[in-house]
């Protein structure tokens, strides 16, 4: 039996209204005909459109970040309370680009996870090591730290409601890709940390691969035992590539 995969596109800061309208129509159509779980995280300005196009489909949709505060003097930010008006399901939290470019920390990731869960959203918590950390043999220490600090204070039921995404930072937007064995090794390790902490099974934890997943490597990576899907960046921008990944079937 083919395992059910979670395949979630991260549009990042891409697409115009003219481009995204037909794109979302295609996402809805593909999601309704796929055996896998399909999702897309859009720029804030297109959240209303995602609600209109996807709310009656099987596709999940959401955003790429949020503030942990409900309201206040936070110019340029979007609160979890605002997101309720648009049927938001998914919130990416702690993406490597947010950590590197906007100084997000493990503490802020933890706070956002708690708030997202309290609002009924599904946090997609990202984690992963840099090229320096990997070359210095510190990838496991870094992953353990990010996982433990990111889920601090959460319950077993909380983490079962979350999605985790492993991002080898050295493979984001570089064209490089972790081998399927490297991805499996880290994801298995990360699942083990959570499973041991909460006394739950690896099968109760949803963990995606998020480093330059594309049609040419999707089957190889997604067939690994502990990899439950992908958080897809560049490849999701071309609908044919995204569709090819969505229709991946692995045992």
pLDDT of residue 132: 87
Two structure tokens written together for 177: 């890709």
* Maximum alpha-carbon separation in the chain: 51
Question: pLDDT tens digits for 150-182?
Answer: 999 999 999 999 999 999 987 766 666 689 999
For the annotated catalytic residues, the residue numbers are 95, 167
Q: Which three-class secondary structure state does DSSP give residue 203?
A: helix
- CB proximity list for 200: less than 8 A, separation 6 or greater: 156, 159, 160, 194
Q: What is the C-alpha to C-alpha distance for residues 181 and 226, in angstroms, rounded to an integer?
A: 11
Residue 229 contacts residue 8 (beta carbons within 8 Å)? yes
pLDDT digits (tens, 9 = 90+) for 62-116: 999 999 999 999 999 999 999 999 999 999 999 999 999 999 999 999 999 999 9
Tokens of 98: 């947010």
pLDDT at position 170 is 77
Task: Give the tens place of pLDDT for each residue, 192-225.
Answer: 999 999 999 999 999 999 988 999 999 999 999 9
The reported pLDDT for the residue numbered 99 is 95
Output the average pLDDT for the chain. Answer: 95
* CB count in 10 Å sphere of residue 58: 14
Q: Does the pLDDT value for residue 134 go beyond 90?
A: no
- pLDDT recorded at residue 175: 63
* CA–CA separation, 75 and 191 (whole Å): 37
The candidate with the shortest Cα–Cα distance to 145, out of 161, 129, 124, 131, is: 129
**What is the C-alpha to C-alpha distance for residues 190 and 25, in angstroms, rounded to an integer?**
35
pLDDT(1) > 90: no
């Amino acid at each position: 039996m083919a395992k059910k995969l979670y395949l979630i596109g991260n549009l990042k800061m891409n697409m115009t209204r003219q481009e995204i309208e037909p794109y979302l129509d295609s996402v809805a159509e593909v999601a309704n005909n796929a055996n896998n779980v399909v999702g897309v995280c859009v720029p804030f300005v297109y959240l209303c459109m995602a609600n209109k196009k996807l709310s009656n489909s099987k596709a999940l949709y959401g955003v790429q970040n949020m503030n942990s505060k409900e309201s206040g003097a936070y110019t340029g930010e979007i609160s979890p309370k605002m997101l309720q008006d648009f049927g938001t399901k998914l919130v990416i939290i702690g993406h490597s680009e947010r950590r590197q470019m906007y100084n997000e920390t493990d503490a802020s990731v933890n706070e956002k996870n708690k708030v997202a869960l309290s609002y009924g959203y599904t946090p997609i918590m990202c984690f992963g090591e840099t090229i320096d950390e990997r070359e210095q043999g510190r990838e496991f220490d870094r992953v353990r730290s990010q996982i433990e600090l990111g889920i601090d204070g959460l319950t077993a039921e909380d983490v079962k409601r979350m999605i985790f995404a492993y991002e080898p930072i050295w493979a984001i937007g570089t064209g490089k890709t972790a081998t399927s064995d490297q991805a499996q090794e880290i994801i298995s390790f990360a699942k083990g940390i959570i499973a041991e902490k909460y006394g739950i099974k690896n099968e109760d934890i949803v963990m995606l691969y998020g480093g330059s997943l594309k049609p040419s490597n999707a089957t190889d990576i997604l067939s690994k035992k502990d990899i439950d899907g992908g958080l897809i960046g560049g490849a999701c921008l071309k609908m044919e590539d995204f569709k090819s990944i969505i229709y991946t079937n692995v045992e």
